[in-house]
Amino acid sequence: MLPTIKKTVNKLWSGVALTLLAALPALGLAAPQMNMTQGVTDISRDTYGLHMTIIWVCVAIAVIVYGVLVFSLIKYRKSKGAVPATFYHSTKAEIVWTLIPFIILIAMAIPATQVLTATYDTSDAKLDVLITGYQWRWQYRYLSGDGQEVVFFSNLSTPQEQIDNKAEKGEHYLLEVDEPLVIPVHTKVRFLLTAADVIHSWWVPAFAIKKDAIPGFVNEAWVNVNEPGIYRGQCAELCGQQHGFMPIVVKVVEQAEFDAWLAEKQAAAAAIAELTSREWTQEQLIAEGQTTYNTFCVACHQPTGLGLPPAFPALSGSPVATGPIEKHIDVVLHGRAGTAMAAYGALLNPIQLAGVITFERNALGSNRVGDMVTPAEILQAQQAAQ
Ligand SMILES: [Cu+2]
């Protein structure tokens, strides 16, 4: 009876194991990676090395302890006539089984402390990037100190059809963005992490960085990447409905390429700043705003400005778009919580914002209020709110 059961169980088990293995490729899991990645920085490799050292210490302890256990069970079994010892206390044994684990723990603490100390040493960074988590996108701000700050949002760029299962999913499904973080290779870069709304967490496995981004706090991390490439990660803190839709993409490039990229970004930022402080006429703002409206607002509020009530309200004749301008600015900058009307204050630049508001008040549908708001005023409103 017993051998038959054993045989059946064995057969079943090997059948299940083989089926699972055979099914892996079909599931797109040809080479499942069980272990953590070694990554592309010295720290990530040290972390991996530490992890492996500790694993093997644990394996050795397990083999020795279970080895002695199994050996004793077999060698000193009752049927062989083993007689139990009768002593209650052994100072010698107690010293040995306290001392050995103590030495093992110290031996593990030394490399662990070394790696941790290095991980937390953010000194002497060549570049500082402030990373801010938003629901649901990351913002990167290159801190330069010379007023030439480069700042942008990094948004998920996976097409909605793929998410809705209406198109085949791409290679980097939910791990792709419109604008990646760009940093130079072989350079110590310090990240300052915070959040604007709820707790997020910036996680890039290849860098061995997973750091919480907490409103009101600034956490630090750093990286010095050894190999140019594109590295991907995700928000690792459950931060709301679209937590899975705020991936991280880091593009690591040669210093020269980075310098060129940064210069280009700085020039663009300077151009916007220059345009923001410039004098604007109502006609210029309306022209600017028409473009912005057609890109960002038209889908819901429609070309006529009549919207698609009741889902999307009409702006033509709306009390907001024809009433006091402060209210209009407020809705566009901060959105309406809990509705499809997003806060555009962080998504559009002051020129686009001033343009679209002026356009909505003076050229959309039947609206002819006659007033305007300048980019400089929008900038002021934003700075006052900070
Ligand atoms: Cu998040």
Distance 291 CA to ligand 1 centre (A): 31
- Examine residue 62 and state whether it is found in any structural domain, yes or no: yes
Confidence band (pLDDT; 50, 70, 90) for 4? low
- Examine residue 19 and state whether it is found in any structural domain, yes or no: no
Same domain, 269 and 379: no
Distance 193 CA to ligand 1 centre (A): 12
Distance 200 CA to ligand 1 centre (A): 4
Structure confidence by residue, pLDDT tens digits, 14-48: 555 555 555 655 555 555 678 889 999 999 999 99
Distance 132 CA to ligand 1 centre (A): 10
Distance 196 CA to ligand 1 centre (A): 11
pLDDT at 43: 95
181-184 β-sheet, strand order: 181-184, 248-253, 229-235, 200-204, 209-213
Structure confidence by residue, pLDDT tens digits, 220-241: 999 999 999 999 999 999 998 8
Structure confidence by residue, pLDDT tens digits, 250-276: 999 999 999 999 999 988 888 888 888
Q: Which of 106-115, 150-159, 341-350 has maximum average pLDDT?
A: 106-115
pLDDT at 207: 95
Question: 69: which 2 tokens?
Answer: 């256990």
Of residues 128 and 4, more confidence is placed in 128
Distance 135 CA to ligand 1 centre (A): 6
Distance 80 CA to ligand 1 centre (A): 63
User: For residue 378, how far is the Cα from the chain centroid?
Assistant: 29
Same domain, 137 and 268: yes
CA-to-CA distance for 6 and 154, rounded, in angstroms?
57
- Close Cβ partners of 199 (under 8 Å, ≥ 6 residues apart): 133, 212, 213, 214, 215, 237, 239
Of residues 302 and 148, more confidence is placed in 302
Same domain, 181 and 210: yes
Same domain, 267 and 135: yes
Distance 112 CA to ligand 1 centre (A): 29
Place of tokens 């409206």: 293
pLDDT at 295: 84
- Of 295, 296, 312, 314, the closest CA to residue 304 belongs to 314
- Close Cβ partners of 307 (under 8 Å, ≥ 6 residues apart): 300, 301, 313, 314, 315
Question: 5: which 2 tokens?
Answer: 């059961």
Same domain, 299 and 359: yes
Q: Which of 81-90, 228-237, 277-286 has maximum average pLDDT?
A: 228-237
Distance 211 CA to ligand 1 centre (A): 12
For 5: left if phi > 0, alpha if psi spans -120 to 50, otherwise beta; the answer is alpha
Distance 213 CA to ligand 1 centre (A): 9
Distance 247 CA to ligand 1 centre (A): 9
Which range marks the domain in which residue 48 is found?
36-76+88-121
- Note the pTM of the prediction, 2 decimals: 0.73
CA-to-CA distance for 187 and 42, rounded, in angstroms?
12
Name the domain count of the chain: 3
Distance 108 CA to ligand 1 centre (A): 34
Distance 279 CA to ligand 1 centre (A): 39
Distance 344 CA to ligand 1 centre (A): 19
pLDDT at 22: 57
pLDDT at 10 over 70: no
Same domain, 225 and 144: yes
219-223 β-sheet, strand order: 150-154, 137-143, 127-134, 189-195, 219-223
- Of 330, 327, 302, the closest CA to residue 316 belongs to 302
Distance 72 CA to ligand 1 centre (A): 53
For the chain, percent helix, then strand, then coil, each to nearest 5? 45, 15, 35
CATH number assigned to the domain comprising residue 93: 1.10.287
Distance 136 CA to ligand 1 centre (A): 6
Distance 180 CA to ligand 1 centre (A): 16
In this structure, is the dihedral angle defined by the CA atoms of residues 280, 281, 282 and 287, taken in order, positive or negative?
Answer: negative
Q: Which amino acid is at 70?
A: V
- Close Cβ partners of 213 (under 8 Å, ≥ 6 residues apart): 131, 132, 133, 193, 194, 195, 199, 200, 201, 202, 219, 237
Distance 131 CA to ligand 1 centre (A): 12
pLDDT at 383: 78
Which of the 8 DSSP states describes residue 205? Answer: G
CATH number assigned to the domain comprising residue 303: 1.10.760.10
- 172-176, 191-195, 276-280: segment of lowest average pLDDT: 276-280
Same domain, 283 and 327: yes
pLDDT at 93 over 60: yes
Place of tokens 């508001």: 357
pLDDT at 26: 57
- Examine residue 360 and state whether it is found in any structural domain, yes or no: yes
pLDDT at 279 over 60: yes
